[in-house]
Structure 1
């Protein structure tokens, strides 16, 4: 409906008239079987369809045209606007009134429904906006305050700070800057995903190296967590977007660190099937509440039972990047403890490995 109402006025008039004319032609060849009064009902149905699809004036035109066509071609004497009996004249007048009222009321009902949908969408947008502001107020303000506080301490106590204290403050500035940079990158990445700007750039990648790089880039966060990854020596090269894969891994690692207790163990395994590269990412934390598992990939969604910060973008970016490479991501709770993500991405394999397997 929204698509047809985006048509130009000229096209709306043309299509609505053509629908009436085509229906009248079909009815003309079958009027002997269905009767001319049944034709009136069919034409009324087409007017209703036009009211659903188009603006009010093309609909009024189709109602008027359908009445004239019904009179000229179907009410005796045919091929004239003269009506032979008072009964047929009354039926014609009723048809014209009903067709017009039907067209107007159907259009108005659709307008009310459209406005209700707009209100719902507006409410969702406001809720999303408020959620974003609430998230950013903590996630951006905290590292900024840390940076400003550390810099002020260094400036005000240049001659009093020991080298050790100075290095600790520099470390705080670095960690806060990385945290701030990650949040800004996530917001930019989500904007690119929603705008459809993410286009995978495939190249041959060493997946073991991608995992090690993601772990290294997350090393500042993993001091109280253990990441286990055993590289497979015979793992082939994969032709995919290494940058997107690295972002997927880093967001999974960050999410696991944020939502699992200290000293939890994070396991990463990489395998492949005949057509897909497969990543198994699991932890031994508390898992996900069953009633929230359908929402964890939604933008800005954060688990209700946690007080941990975060913008709720990490897992939505994981899903967005995976789907940008035509892959799939699945989440499940493990039987004992923890959760497991399984990501499958279609990929070509290096020729040397294919030959070895053959």
Structure 2
């Protein structure tokens, strides 16, 4: 198979879809890999490393996009929509439930789009979302600690406090992978931490492992309001696989929050779990509503691209190879990839996307039935 690796175009997106190690595995299996010149530079991976792994370096984005399968990190930007074409397999993060324009572009192109974030194994695990959730969860606390500084518009609160002065009050909405990793760093800083979730088993797990170092609360409107009104830092860590995140904090709640408090909404890729969330970039990461600082960068892990790129490829490489070796047959034969299939030949094949945009849903196997 001919596989393309274009350079990312999103603002300050310095991750890259494949490492030289992944490329070497693909070329050893007889596949040809076209790498756009400079694709790995943001992660300090030189063209020469890709060449040594067997890739062909191409000068322009359109050369890489002309492949049978394109592997990326982030969803195509509007400037890249014209590269989409029928018979292409696009393998990347997509987050379509919060992006109607991209959904329509993919449908009209006839491409096959597989989203990292909805590839799901037995037991409901999301192996390709997990590494970036781990990075984003840990970063959320570091980012929050920075923007709590008065010089960045925050309340001027030190995360761990000092002897005789209370630490920051950190509220984490969601106890999944993002929330658990955020809790780990916040507790390590010495902050006062509260995690809210609707899953009692998850709360019990966190309570057991932290043994009083954090508080757990059931996530309902009453408990959310009580928690956020006393918070210095709120981390949005809610996940509805493939679907839009629900608003847990409404705009009406913001006037009652502490002035200079900080919101880091990691759920921004899926629309955000704060009503006042809107996507920001690393170039302009924050804005203020009702005196509350909002940090809503939609590609937060790209701030640490070296770590993020390698962490992502550890998980994606096996699926990339399977798709390269088997093509669409890999989806037919692998339930995890069936969950990952969002769009195929003009059909919506993921229920949450169809529901969000009131579109017809087609079962993945049915969509693939008559395609060779």
Name which one, 1 or 2, has greater alpha-carbon Rg: 1
TM-score category by the smaller chain?
under 0.3
TM-score normalised per structure 1: 0.18
TM-score normalised per structure 2: 0.17
Structure scoring higher RCO (CA < 8 A, sep ≥ 6) equals 2
Higher helix share: 1
Higher strand share: 2
